[in-house]
Amino acid sequence: MRVFKLFGGRLRATFLFLVLAILPALVHAEIVKIVALPDTQVYAQNYPEIFDNQTLWIVDNKDSIDFVVHLGDIVEVADNETQWQNANHSMSYLNGNVKWVALPGNHDFKDSDNYWFDKYFGYQVNFSWVVSHYGIYGDNEAENTISVFYAEGYKFVVVALQYCPTGDILQWANNTLSQYEENAVIIVATHSYLNTDGTRTGCGDTIWNNFVKYHNVSLVICGHVPGEGFRQDENVYGYTVYQRLADYQSQENGGNGKLQIITFDFSNEKLKIETYSPYTDSYETDSDSYYELTWEPPEPSYGTSNWQYRRAITITEQSGSTLTDYQLAINVTYDSDMQPDFDDLRFKWLNESSNEEIEIPYWIESKVDSNWAYVWIKVPEIPANDNATVYMYYGNPTATSASNGTAVFEFFDGFEDGDVSDWSVDNQQ
């Protein structure tokens, strides 16, 4: 920001710059990670410290984990409240740190009664702080939910279905998902779906034939059957649906904390499934435990028409104070999909509470066409000791420049035209 003042009849130029604690990397791989927790019943019954270890590891790595789903059989004995208390204690570490959702397995029902699941994981208990459910089957229950979240500018829809959902539940899922599935990465999580030999269980066949194959689902993930399994099929539209079983309850200590890390790599069009235990800090890398799959991502869902490309900028606040209307500078390296003069640059700030992207002002202070640009942006809020995300859009050949220093800075004059009529002389003695 260039500000000119007159002191004692002498013209003095004062250059004021606001300093960013950490300049973000502008270009990075678009990676979204989801963690799946399979069949924790043995931990809830005998080894709650292993269950704690899983969720505390997730919290420690929350900056790189976007969502968590529990695949059911949360407890071993459905009417044993101590086990539910243990499970609730472990899962509660995620509250306020990572969005998550749970679904009930067969061990979580007592004679088809869902009382205990609803008491500790039901709608009224977790709706406000777990995840924004866009669809719930039943009245104030959470056995079957559809959740929507955004990451890296892409819309994700997680369909969580109870153990062996009925025809009515699947019809509800069809109707509800149709409202949110456009340009979405869809994950279906359920309890019983695959066997270890890759065949589907009876419940799995029902879910596939009455629901999954009619939607552009990227991944179905399940537990229930001890061991690991995998298959892939084309849906009715010819798209590949990957299907994964992971359940370690029959292994030492109920699985030694093994979980699934599912990575969606948009830049490289890959889907990776890893088996990892934070309890033993070890990966399983055999052919049944690790998959790196070719995957066709959907179109981005950031809602800015005519702009074909987007990059995320992560801003880290380290002073301990929330910053509002904060100006910071970024160096933009030219991309061949940009206009050579950078006229198509636009910036949006992600409002984390509403998942809404809000356009923010910017000013190009200097540039070399087809090379680089030095750009100031004004960020509405950067939370204390946390991250804020700003998205840079480009790739619109008809866009004209929206660079506006007055909108970025409270006091601004670039003096490009030599006009100083907005300034007055302050004669200080």
Span 16-48, pLDDT tens digits: 333 333 333 333 458 999 999 999 999 999 999
Q: Which of 6-15, 103-112, 389-398 has the lowest mean pLDDT?
A: 6-15
Residue 424 lies in a domain: no
Q: Which of 228, 262, 294 is the last residue of a domain?
A: 294
Q: If 0-12 CB within 10 Å is exposed, 13-18 middle and 19+ buried, where does residue 301 land?
A: middle
| Same domain, residue pair 269 and 308 | no
Contact 144, 165 (CB under 8 A): yes
Within a domain: 247? yes
Let me know whether 208 and 317 are in one domain. no
Structural domain span for residue 94: 31-294
Shared domain check, 374 and 321: yes
**Together in a domain, 336 and 229:** no
Residues 182 and 157 in one domain: yes
What is the structure's pLDDT at 218?
Answer: 97
Task: Please give the structure tokens belonging to residue 8.
Answer: 């004692």
Task: Indicate if the pLDDT at residue 154 is higher than 90.
Answer: no
The residue among 294, 318, 334 that closes a domain is: 294
- Please write the tens of the pLDDT for every residue from 312-363: 888 988 889 999 999 999 999 998 889 999 999 999 998 877 667 889 999 9
Give me the percent of the chain exceeding a pLDDT of 70. 83
| pLDDT exceeds cutoff 80 at 421 | no
Confirm whether 316 is domain-assigned. Answer: yes
- Kindly state whether residues 66 and 160 are assigned to the same domain: yes
The contacts of residue 398 (CB under 8 Å, 6+ apart) are 306
Q: Which residue has the higher pLDDT, 261 or 148?
A: 261
Among candidate residues 249, 277, 294, the one where a domain is terminated: 294
Q: Using 50, 70 and 90 to split pLDDT, how confident is the model at 115?
A: confident
Residue 361 lies in a domain: yes
**What angle (nearest 5°) sits at the alpha carbon of residue 98, between those of residues 92 and 104?**
55
Task: Answer whether residue 141 is part of any domain.
Answer: yes
**For position 131, what pLDDT does the model report?**
52
pLDDT of res. 3: 35
Q: pLDDT class for 222, splitting at 50, 70, 90?
A: very high
Both 277 and 343 in one domain: the answer is: no
User: In terms of domains, do 276 and 319 share one?
Assistant: no
141, pLDDT greater than 80: no
Residues 361 and 250 in one domain: no
Q: In this structure, are 209 and 105 located in the same domain?
A: yes
Residue 5 has pLDDT above 50, yes or no: no
Longest dimension (CA), the chain: 91
Residue 420 belongs to some domain of the structure: no
What sign for the dihedral angle of Cα 52, 57, 59, 62? negative
Indicate which CATH number applies to the domain containing 45: 3.60.21.10
Say if CB 329 and CB 365 are below 8 A apart. Answer: yes
When pLDDT is cut at 50, 70 and 90, the band that residue 236 belongs to is very high
Same domain, 249 and 370: no
Q: Is residue 3 part of a domain?
A: no
Residue 4: pLDDT over 70: no
**pLDDT at site 362:** 96
For the chain, how many structural domains are there in total?
A: 2
308 and 230 belong to one structural domain:
no
Whole-angstrom distance, CA of residue 198 vs CA of residue 192: 12
Burial class (CB in 10 A: 0-12, 13-18, 19+), 214: middle
pLDDT at 9 over 60: no
21 within a domain of the structure (yes/no):
no
Give me the CATH number covering residue 352: 2.60.40.1180
Does the pLDDT value for residue 118 go beyond 90? no
- State pLDDT tens for residues 388-413: 989 898 988 888 999 999 899 877 66
